[in-house]
């Protein structure tokens, strides 16, 4: 099922945050096997399935391997040169700055969340197109999850944030602007940080 075939899906660009050092994992987690593919390839494939044509992957650690893993995808790579010293907010800023002029919103996606589901992506997009809120955040059990969407009007504020600030700081500052999408899927809260996470979550290669 494709997303939002009755809407202009080209209005939304995805920014995939994939620049981390994978310190807790001990190996580049974007390249870990996930079924018959890799973690990062699974994430991008779900975004493509949802119909998103502008998919920007912000790379850092394992840059060349990530680029190789995605060479057959529609994703465009941008490099965060400060990946060894910066936090996730700086990767988001790099990704936002690379979006084309026509996008009216950005879908913020974790590169280490292969549990991402196309149904959730499509529901976030549908809510945005129907109501045009500034922020759409999926929520499970009253907890904020990913991927979330931010309208272009708030990008300048994100781009001005300091390196010591976080996306949680941004969300807290705009709590009253958030339109929550209540979902019954705990996948919105999951990602991969440790080897134990991967062992517990990954589907078999077969």
Domains in the chain: boundaries: 9-195
- Quick check: bond before 160 cis, omega within 30? no
Q: Report the relative pairing of strands 148-151 and 135-140 from DSSP bridges.
A: antiparallel
How far are the Cα atoms of 24, 57, 104, 117, 198 from residue 112, in angstroms, in the given order?
Answer: 12, 12, 25, 13, 10
pLDDT value at position 22?
Answer: 74
pLDDT tier at 6 (50, 70, 90 boundaries)? Answer: low
Q: To 5 degrees, how large is the angle CA 35–CA 68–CA 73?
A: 70
Contact 87, 107 (CB under 8 A): no
What is the percentage of the chain residues whose pLDDT exceeds 70? Answer: 96
Residue 5 pLDDT greater than 70, yes or no: no
pLDDT tier at 3 (50, 70, 90 boundaries)? Answer: very low
pLDDT value at position 94?
Answer: 97
pTM reported for the whole predicted model: 0.93
pLDDT value at position 25?
Answer: 85
135 membership: H or E segment, kind and range: strand 135-140
Q: Taking the domain 9-195, which CATH number applies?
A: 3.90.550.10
Q: Is 153 exposed, middle or buried (0-12, 13-18, 19+ CB in 10 A)?
A: exposed
- The model's pLDDT over 105-164, given as tens digits with 9 standing for 90+, comes to 999 999 999 999 999 999 999 999 999 999 999 999 999 999 999 999 999 999 999 999
- The model's pLDDT over 65-85, given as tens digits with 9 standing for 90+, comes to 999 999 999 999 999 999 888
pLDDT value at position 95?
Answer: 98
């Amino acid at each position: 099922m494709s997303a939002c075939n009755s809407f202009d899906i080209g209005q939304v660009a995805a920014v995939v945050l994939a620049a981390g050092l994978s310190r807790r994992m001990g190996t580049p987690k974007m390249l870990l096997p996930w079924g018959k593919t890799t973690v990062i390839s699974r994430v991008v494939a779900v975004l493509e399935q949802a119909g998103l044509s502008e998919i920007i992957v912000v790379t850092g650690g394992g840059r060349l391997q990530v680029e190789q893993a995605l060479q057959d995808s529609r994703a465009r790579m941008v490099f965060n040169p400060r990946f060894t010293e910066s936090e996730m907010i700086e990767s988001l800023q790099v990704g936002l700055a690379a979006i084309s002029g026509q996008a009216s919103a950005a879908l913020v996606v974790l590169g280490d969340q292969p549990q991402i589901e196309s149904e959730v992506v499509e529901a976030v997009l549908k809510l945005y197109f129907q109501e045009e809120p500034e922020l759409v955040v999926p929520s499970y059990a009253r907890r904020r999850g990913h991927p979330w969407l931010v309208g272009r009007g708030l990008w300048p504020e994100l781009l001005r944030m300091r390196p010591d600030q976080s996306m949680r700081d941004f969300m807290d500052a705009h709590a009253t602007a958030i339109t929550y999408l209540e979902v019954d899927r705990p996948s919105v809260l999951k990602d991969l940080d440790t080897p134990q996470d991967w062992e517990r979550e990954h589907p078999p290669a077969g």
